[in-house]
Chain A
Amino acid sequence: MVLLAIAALPASLLGQQRWEQQVQDRLARTVDALPATPTLPVVKRSGMLNIDEGASFQALLTVHVSYAIIAVCDDDCSRLQLTLLSPSGSEVAKERNSESLPTLHFTPETTARYVIRVVMEGCRWNPCWYAIAVVPLRKPPL
């Protein structure tokens, strides 16, 4: 499996607008459906990967805040794997069963920079576009 650590390039440089737009719209709809807290920002990343390639990026997660980490991909993608790694590199959570919409829920015990890794496990027509959002959730009312 090839793992690529890609830099966050501007969207305009990253490729064709149609597929880019498709995943951005999909991500926006999914984020809208979540009860996000207005006090913390939603972190988003997007890019493209060929089959069996992976990409990683870091996100600062705040202690005791519940996060939903969601990934979406374009119509040609059939399976996306999403993994959350601790700052030391050990796996905290992994989602590979939701095919093209993997979601992780996590509440960190300490504030730290966690690594989010996405692997394109199924892509019918390479490359497949993907987008990830790290959404801080509102605390449920007591």
Chain B
Amino acid sequence: MAPVKRWVVVGLAGCAALALAYLPPRGATARDGSFFRTQAPWGTPARHRAQALADEWRGVDASLRLLRARRELQGLLRESNAGTSLVVVSESADVATVTSPIVDSAIHIAWRQLGLVETKVRVAVIIQLAVTSPVHDRPTIEEGVAAYLAPDSTDRTTCIAVLPAGTYWTRVFRGARANGQLPFDALVQTLKTGLGPCAFYATYGAPGRLVRGWLVARGWDLAMTLDVGARRAYRNSLIEMAEPRYPWYWEAIYSLPPTAVACLASRPDGCRAAVLAGAIDDPAIPFPDIVRIDRRWGRVPRLVEGQRFLGDVARAVGRDRFLSFWTTALSVDSALAATLKRPVGEWTAEWQSDFVRPIRLGPTPPLGGVAIALAIAALALALVAVSATRRQVR
């Protein structure tokens, strides 16, 4: 019977290898069309081209606005009182307007809630109000896309943030009330989030060259908000709302980059790769250093809830240890691991599981397919066994 047993083992191993190679990954289903579409089905090449040009125009316009603000705000910052590290101005269609007292009050509360008083790096915020009448000679300002100018591109101690207020908040600032109530807390939260990289600059100063190069290369996606707040208080991506029972669950998961998917599965290597992407030994820092951050719901992140990653790291390790990381001369990987006192991948995998229950990855055969395959395999083995038994010489 020894040769028969060997062939059984070889057969089973072959089946396992074929299954690994050919079975679809978990959650993959044959579908005619994608549930999520990155483009409108009616988009024509001309339309796409126009949208790309509009995006390019918006980017250049935001950069110009920041560079103009650098000059305009200098006088205002000089005149600001000692001990004031926050300046707020408003504009509408490139024309300076009076800043609403609600905005002024809300942003100063946001500033205090972040624990900021007098800081080495000041922050100048420009609130861009939405225009009431439609503008046809240029692309409209996109709500949720803010632009920032790093201090090294100003006087080295001022970070400038341009925050589009959007139609809703512009109406609120101009006196409209939703259900008669002023959503003041929501406004504070919005402005707090809107401070973005400038909040990091104000709290921890300018990062060291390696950390800064890493963040610049990634578009500051791991440090989009300093105010981390309670975990799961806000759901910032579709993944956090998805459950396996929904038909679009796996499609939402597989819309993420592979390293983010691996991190969702609590694989430390994937988490490490997702966090350390962009970290190099000799980064190039652009000048002027302008960052555009897209906070619109539905964007695909490199890491689920990645926008609060560094905020959570700072909260977990405390100010002194975070400052050591922030100004480090070590590589980002080593410095972050030293700060966390754990390998980056392990810490991140655990952090990630606070937002999304770890998923299981790997090939999964459909139940019916497994039953049929096992039945065929059992039949084949039985035939081989019977045939081998008959050929034996007793």
Contact = CB atoms under 8 A, between A and B. Distances in A.
Interface in B189-227: 204-209
A15 B157 contact: yes
Contact of A51 (B118, B119, B122, B327): B327
Given A126-B120, A126-B205, A17 B82 contact: yes
Interface residues of B, number: 23
B323 interface: yes
A64 interface: no
A126 B207 contact: yes
Nearest to A121: B329
Contacts of A12: 78
Given A126-B120, A126-B327, A13 B155 contact: yes
B170 interface: no
Nearest to A50: B206
B205 A52 contact: no
Contacts of A14: 155-157
Contacts of B329: 51-52
B323 A127 contact: no
Interface residues of A, number: 20
Interface in B128-172: 152, 155-157
Interface of B: 74, 78, 82-83, 85, 118-122, 152, 155-157, 204-209, 323, 327, 329
27 contacts: A13-B78, A14-B155, A14-B156, A14-B157, A15-B156, A15-B157, A16-B85, A16-B122, A17-B82, A19-B120, A48-B156, A50-B208, A51-B208, A51-B329, A52-B208, A52-B329, A76-B120, A125-B204, A125-B205, A125-B327, A126-B205, A126-B206, A126-B208, A126-B327, A127-B157, A127-B205, A127-B206
Given A2-B209, A9-B155, A17-B82, 19 more contacts: A13-B74, A13-B78, A14-B157, A15-B157, A16-B85, A16-B118, A16-B120, A48-B156, A48-B157, A50-B205, A52-B208, A52-B209, A123-B205, A123-B327, A125-B204, A126-B120, A126-B205, A126-B208, A127-B206
Interface of A: 2, 9, 12-19, 48, 50-52, 76, 123-127
